[in-house]
Structure 1
């Protein structure tokens, strides 16, 4: 049961992490939305920036993704 409780606590922090990365998240969302026929790797750089931001925010908040 400890694993479930720690997972729930970690999931509760996700909105904070996403909020801290709102600029890169917005850039990624704009890239995805602008094309009606998106293909793999069309928004790769935006996704990588968003992912790196989330990883860094998780480290700062002492949690993991």
Structure 2
């Protein structure tokens, strides 16, 4: 058989009022106040200091070991050329010469093929076996360069 539940005891309003007054008096006597100020929200770093440390260290290591960033910010700079940077007009001429090389080789394709066949057949350039073919190829290229009015 179950017992009927006991209803909770309720204080009378006068007693509740008296308890509140006593609590306020004890707080005033001890110098404490009730906190009513709204505290500022904490940042995520304050809430998660471990996560911040892990993120910071990981990012730092990625940057430290990243080769392009290392080259840009940490590595010693490449020294300038000894004679200074080449003037712009010389660079333009050199680029034009590079564009002319395929044309020169195309004009001497038959001599280039003979020289290449000799080198691949004998497999050794150091013994000067293909000197005659190389001279013919070189003369052809120089002649074509004179016709095109360009330097090699």
Query: If the length of structure 2 is used for normalisation, what is the TM-score?
Result: 0.41
Counterpart selection for 1:32 from 110, 116, 119: 119
Aligned residues: 64
The SS at the match of 1:34 is helix
Which residue of structure 2 lines up, in the alignment, with residue 21 of structure 1? 108
Unaligned runs of 5+ in 2: 1-87
Matches within 5 A, 1:51-62: 51-62=138-149
Q: How much is the aligned-residue C-alpha RMSD, in angstroms?
A: 0.9
Which residue of structure 2 lines up, in the alignment, with residue 5 of structure 1? 92
**1:44 Cα deviation (Å)?**
0.1
Unaligned runs of 5+ in 1: none
CA distance in 2, matches of 1:60, 1:53: 11
Query: If the length of structure 1 is used for normalisation, what is the TM-score?
Result: 0.93
CA distance in 1, matches of 2:106, 2:138: 13
CA distance in 2, matches of 1:47, 1:35: 14
Q: Kindly name which structure, 1 or 2, has the bigger radius of gyration based on alpha carbons.
A: 2
Q: Which 4+ stretches in 1 moved above 4 angstroms?
A: none
The SS at the match of 1:13 is helix
